[in-house]
Amino acid sequence: MKSAPEEIILGDVSVTRIKEFYGSVEMTPAEFFPGSTPQSWEQHRDWLAPDFWNPGTNEVRVALQTWLLRSGGRTILVDTGAGNHKERPYAPFWSHRDTDFLDNLAAAGARPQDVDLVVNTHLHTDHVGWNTRLDGRSWVPTFPNATYLIPQRDFDFWNPANNNPSVFGRGNQNVFEDSVTPVRDAGLVQLWDGVHRIDGNLKLELAPGHTPGSSVLHLESGSDRALFVGDLVHTPHQIVEPDNNSCFCEDPAEARATRQRLFGLAATTGALVFPAHLPGPGGVQVERRGTRFAISDWAGFSRIS
């Protein structure tokens, strides 16, 4: 029998992480973060290894996890991972996955029909996968009673009809068609831009750079604060070296500026920062160190690597 995943409580909101995958992303630090030096990874080896970096194989380790929030009586998912059975010809790492994600969600007490809101922080392949599931030969909404909140700017950017060039090349091929269009056609999508208030505890705000519509979910409840930042960072190395972008950031200068802004906010307000891809304790508390940041504490989840 599976034990229920851990939950932490922030103000009136509960936060649970739902596992899809933890492990190597089969990229070296230099491939994933072209601006980072081997010396800087060595310098932080004592805490980057083993959760975030395997120095033996020199591979970056990541999580693929969904944040399950319960707020104001509603069940909310932040990002929906890679999904099962998706055809990703130019992103083979995310192709044809077959995980027990929905069982893990059920173990946390949420069946697909219980989900009220789905937040896609952006529309990369590894953030929208479980928006849909395969039913026979058709992609159908996994969460039939949910409203899917999608940033208008990413909806437009990744819409194949607009034929926008991307640093991701063709990596997002098929994603819009199998993971966005079916929920849009089912009438479940609400597009938003700028700022979108979800309830008294939660607010979405644009945080562009990684993609044009990348966004952050602000949690503010009682005296507790948290930021669900999507792909603002893929590794805590980018907290201590905030100018280092991933190779998947569409606008490098804007990505750096947004990282500085949101880490600055987190350092000032004491907000916990929950990226999409952090294994280990899943989230961090940051403090300012000049133009950089340091990790002052980790979130209260048990370490997973």
The least CB distance from residue 211 to Zn ion, in Å, is: 10
The least CB distance from residue 126 to Zn ion, in Å, is: 4
Is-contact 270 222, C-beta < 8 A?
no
Burial class (CB within 10 angstroms; exposed 0-12, middle 13-18, buried 19+) of 243: middle
DSSP string for 120-187: -SS-STTTSGGGEEEETTEEEESSTT-EEEEEHHHHHHH-GGG----TTTTTTTTHIIIIIHHHHHTT
- 93 secondary structure, DSSP code: G
Nearest to 259 by CA among 281, 292, 287, 290: 292
The least CB distance from residue 104 to Zn ion, in Å, is: 18
- In the complex, the residues that contact Zn ion under the rule CB under 5 A are 126, 231
The least CB distance from residue 234 to Zn ion, in Å, is: 7
The least CB distance from residue 13 to Zn ion, in Å, is: 23
3 state SS of 22: strand
Torsion of the alpha carbons at 265, 237, 118 and 102, rounded to the nearest 10 = -150
- CA gap 215, 195 in Å, rounded: 9
- CA gap 201, 210 in Å, rounded: 25
Question: Closer CB to Zn ion, residue 126 or residue 178?
Answer: 126
The least CB distance from residue 224 to Zn ion, in Å, is: 25
Question: Closer CB to Zn ion, residue 126 or residue 250?
Answer: 126
